[in-house]
Amino acid sequence: MHTWYDNELVPKGMVYFLPFSNTEGHLVLVYPKYKENLAIDKNKLWKVIHGKAEQTLKQKLSVNQQFDLDNYVIGKSKYPRIGNTFFVGNCLGAINPFLGFGQFTSILTGIYAAHDLCGLSNYEEDVQVLYQNYHDSLTLRRKLEALSNDQLDLITKYLHYKPVRKLLAGSNINLLKVLSTLTHPSHR
Protein backbone atom coordinates (compact mmCIF):
# COMPACT_ATOMS: atom_id res chain seq x y z
CA MET A 1 0.00 0.00 0.00
CA HIS A 2 1.21 3.49 -0.77
CA THR A 3 -0.35 6.77 0.40
CA TRP A 4 0.28 10.34 -0.64
CA TYR A 5 -0.43 13.35 1.56
CA ASP A 6 0.23 16.63 -0.20
CA ASN A 7 -1.85 19.61 0.87
CA GLU A 8 -0.84 21.61 -2.18
CA LEU A 9 -1.83 18.88 -4.58
CA VAL A 10 -4.89 17.47 -2.79
CA PRO A 11 -5.95 20.01 -0.15
CA LYS A 12 -6.98 18.26 3.07
CA GLY A 13 -7.26 14.97 1.25
CA MET A 14 -5.18 12.00 0.28
CA VAL A 15 -4.41 9.49 -2.43
CA TYR A 16 -3.75 5.82 -1.88
CA PHE A 17 -2.83 2.85 -3.98
CA LEU A 18 -4.09 -0.46 -2.66
CA PRO A 19 -2.81 -3.54 -4.53
CA PHE A 20 -5.18 -6.49 -4.91
CA SER A 21 -2.64 -8.79 -6.58
CA ASN A 22 0.62 -8.61 -8.55
CA THR A 23 -1.18 -7.06 -11.49
CA GLU A 24 -4.19 -5.15 -10.14
CA GLY A 25 -4.80 -2.42 -7.65
CA HIS A 26 -7.03 0.42 -6.61
CA LEU A 27 -5.88 4.02 -6.99
CA VAL A 28 -8.09 6.30 -4.90
CA LEU A 29 -8.24 10.07 -4.64
CA VAL A 30 -10.25 11.46 -1.71
CA TYR A 31 -10.77 15.03 -0.59
CA PRO A 32 -13.45 16.82 1.43
CA LYS A 33 -15.91 19.06 -0.30
CA TYR A 34 -15.10 22.16 1.72
CA LYS A 35 -15.83 25.59 0.27
CA GLU A 36 -12.16 26.11 -0.60
CA ASN A 37 -12.11 22.81 -2.54
CA LEU A 38 -15.14 23.51 -4.73
CA ALA A 39 -12.96 25.03 -7.46
CA ILE A 40 -10.98 21.80 -7.89
CA ASP A 41 -11.31 20.30 -11.36
CA LYS A 42 -11.63 16.63 -10.47
CA ASN A 43 -10.66 15.30 -13.91
CA LYS A 44 -7.59 17.51 -14.13
CA LEU A 45 -6.51 16.55 -10.63
CA TRP A 46 -7.03 12.86 -11.40
CA LYS A 47 -4.69 13.10 -14.39
CA VAL A 48 -1.98 14.68 -12.22
CA ILE A 49 -2.48 12.03 -9.52
CA HIS A 50 -2.33 9.22 -12.05
CA GLY A 51 0.97 10.57 -13.38
CA LYS A 52 2.34 11.02 -9.89
CA ALA A 53 1.41 7.48 -8.90
CA GLU A 54 3.14 6.11 -12.01
CA GLN A 55 6.21 8.19 -11.22
CA THR A 56 6.41 7.15 -7.55
CA LEU A 57 5.62 3.50 -8.13
CA LYS A 58 7.89 3.42 -11.22
CA GLN A 59 5.43 1.57 -13.40
CA LYS A 60 2.72 2.19 -15.96
CA LEU A 61 -0.74 2.07 -14.41
CA SER A 62 -3.41 1.44 -17.01
CA VAL A 63 -6.94 2.16 -15.88
CA ASN A 64 -9.40 -0.68 -16.53
CA GLN A 65 -12.33 0.68 -14.57
CA GLN A 66 -13.04 4.07 -13.13
CA PHE A 67 -15.79 5.54 -10.97
CA ASP A 68 -16.33 8.54 -8.78
CA LEU A 69 -18.62 9.47 -5.93
CA ASP A 70 -19.84 12.93 -5.14
CA ASN A 71 -21.55 14.33 -2.05
CA TYR A 72 -20.75 11.24 0.01
CA VAL A 73 -21.87 12.53 3.37
CA ILE A 74 -20.37 11.02 6.50
CA GLY A 75 -21.31 11.68 10.10
CA LYS A 76 -22.80 9.96 13.09
CA SER A 77 -26.34 9.38 14.15
CA LYS A 78 -27.40 11.10 17.36
CA TYR A 79 -29.25 7.99 18.54
CA PRO A 80 -28.09 4.39 18.02
CA ARG A 81 -31.64 3.11 18.30
CA ILE A 82 -35.14 4.53 18.12
CA GLY A 83 -37.82 2.12 19.25
CA ASN A 84 -37.42 -1.09 17.29
CA THR A 85 -35.12 0.50 14.73
CA PHE A 86 -31.40 -0.13 15.21
CA PHE A 87 -29.03 2.14 13.31
CA VAL A 88 -26.18 -0.05 12.11
CA GLY A 89 -23.26 0.34 9.69
CA ASN A 90 -23.22 3.63 7.86
CA CYS A 91 -26.64 4.46 9.33
CA LEU A 92 -24.97 4.73 12.75
CA GLY A 93 -21.91 6.56 11.45
CA ALA A 94 -19.50 3.70 10.87
CA ILE A 95 -17.15 5.59 8.57
CA ASN A 96 -14.12 6.81 10.40
CA PRO A 97 -13.41 10.40 9.43
CA PHE A 98 -9.63 9.98 9.74
CA LEU A 99 -9.12 7.54 6.85
CA GLY A 100 -12.64 6.83 5.59
CA PHE A 101 -12.74 3.17 6.57
CA GLY A 102 -15.94 1.71 7.93
CA GLN A 103 -16.23 -1.96 7.13
CA PHE A 104 -14.92 -3.27 10.44
CA THR A 105 -17.12 -0.91 12.48
CA SER A 106 -20.12 -1.83 10.31
CA ILE A 107 -19.60 -5.51 11.04
CA LEU A 108 -19.27 -4.75 14.76
CA THR A 109 -22.57 -2.83 14.78
CA GLY A 110 -24.25 -5.84 13.16
CA ILE A 111 -22.88 -8.10 15.86
CA TYR A 112 -23.85 -5.70 18.65
CA ALA A 113 -27.39 -5.38 17.27
CA ALA A 114 -27.68 -9.17 17.06
CA HIS A 115 -26.48 -9.48 20.67
CA ASP A 116 -29.16 -7.04 21.78
CA LEU A 117 -31.88 -8.85 19.81
CA CYS A 118 -30.81 -12.10 21.50
CA GLY A 119 -31.02 -10.42 24.89
CA LEU A 120 -27.26 -10.73 25.50
CA SER A 121 -26.39 -7.04 25.81
CA ASN A 122 -27.59 -3.51 25.26
CA TYR A 123 -26.94 -2.00 21.80
CA GLU A 124 -26.95 1.60 23.03
CA GLU A 125 -24.26 0.78 25.60
CA ASP A 126 -22.16 -1.37 23.27
CA VAL A 127 -21.85 1.32 20.59
CA GLN A 128 -20.54 3.95 23.01
CA VAL A 129 -17.01 2.75 22.28
CA LEU A 130 -17.67 3.31 18.55
CA TYR A 131 -18.88 6.85 19.24
CA GLN A 132 -15.65 7.43 21.17
CA ASN A 133 -13.63 6.06 18.22
CA TYR A 134 -15.53 8.38 15.88
CA HIS A 135 -14.69 11.34 18.12
CA ASP A 136 -10.98 10.36 18.24
CA SER A 137 -10.91 9.81 14.52
CA LEU A 138 -12.48 13.20 13.78
CA THR A 139 -9.95 14.88 16.08
CA LEU A 140 -7.09 13.27 14.16
CA ARG A 141 -8.67 14.23 10.84
CA ARG A 142 -8.86 17.89 11.86
CA LYS A 143 -5.25 17.82 13.05
CA LEU A 144 -4.14 16.18 9.81
CA GLU A 145 -5.98 18.75 7.69
CA ALA A 146 -4.24 21.58 9.51
CA LEU A 147 -0.73 20.29 8.74
CA SER A 148 1.50 21.91 6.16
CA ASN A 149 3.51 19.83 3.71
CA ASP A 150 6.67 20.46 5.76
CA GLN A 151 4.97 19.15 8.89
CA LEU A 152 3.68 16.12 6.98
CA ASP A 153 7.22 15.44 5.74
CA LEU A 154 8.54 15.65 9.28
CA ILE A 155 5.95 13.19 10.60
CA THR A 156 6.65 10.81 7.72
CA LYS A 157 10.34 10.99 8.50
CA TYR A 158 9.75 10.06 12.14
CA LEU A 159 7.48 7.17 11.10
CA HIS A 160 10.50 5.58 9.45
CA TYR A 161 12.36 5.37 12.77
CA LYS A 162 12.23 1.88 14.18
CA PRO A 163 11.19 2.81 17.77
CA VAL A 164 8.34 4.97 16.48
CA ARG A 165 7.17 2.22 14.10
CA LYS A 166 7.33 -0.26 16.95
CA LEU A 167 5.30 2.01 19.22
CA LEU A 168 2.67 2.53 16.51
CA ALA A 169 2.36 -0.98 15.14
CA GLY A 170 3.97 -3.37 17.57
CA SER A 171 2.81 -2.31 21.02
CA ASN A 172 -0.45 -2.42 22.94
CA ILE A 173 -0.45 1.37 23.24
CA ASN A 174 -2.86 2.98 20.79
CA LEU A 175 -0.75 6.04 20.05
CA LEU A 176 -3.33 7.64 17.77
CA LYS A 177 -5.95 7.35 20.51
CA VAL A 178 -3.58 8.84 23.07
CA LEU A 179 -2.81 11.74 20.70
CA SER A 180 -6.45 12.41 19.99
CA THR A 181 -7.44 12.28 23.68
CA LEU A 182 -4.66 14.70 24.58
CA THR A 183 -5.56 17.16 21.83
CA HIS A 184 -9.36 16.99 22.27
CA PRO A 185 -10.31 15.45 25.63
CA SER A 186 -13.90 16.75 25.81
CA HIS A 187 -16.75 14.99 24.06
CA ARG A 188 -18.46 16.50 20.97
Which of the stretches 79-87, 88-96, 130-138, 159-167 binds ligand FAD when contact is defined by CB under 6 A? 88-96
The rounded distance, in Å, linking the Cα atoms of 20 and 69 is 21
* Cβ closest to ligand FAD, residue 101 vs residue 158: 101
**3-class DSSP state for residue 2?**
strand
Is there a contact between 14 and 30 (Cβ–Cβ < 8 Å)? yes
Q: Does 69 bind ligand FAD (CB under 6 A)?
A: yes
Q: Does 38 bind ligand FAD (CB under 6 A)?
A: no
Which of the stretches 44-52, 99-107, 111-119, 133-141 binds ligand FAD when contact is defined by CB under 6 A? 99-107
The rounded distance, in Å, linking the Cα atoms of 87 and 124 is 10
Least Å distance, CB 100 to ligand FAD, is 6
Is there a contact between 138 and 98 (Cβ–Cβ < 8 Å)? yes
Chain-centre distance for alpha carbon 33: 15
Least Å distance, CB 144 to ligand FAD, is 17
Q: Does 89 bind ligand FAD (CB under 6 A)?
A: yes
The rounded distance, in Å, linking the Cα atoms of 132 and 153 is 29
* Cβ closest to ligand FAD, residue 87 vs residue 180: 87
| DSSP 8-state code for residue 15 | E
Binding site for ligand FAD (CB under 6 A): 69, 72, 89-90, 94-95, 100-104, 106
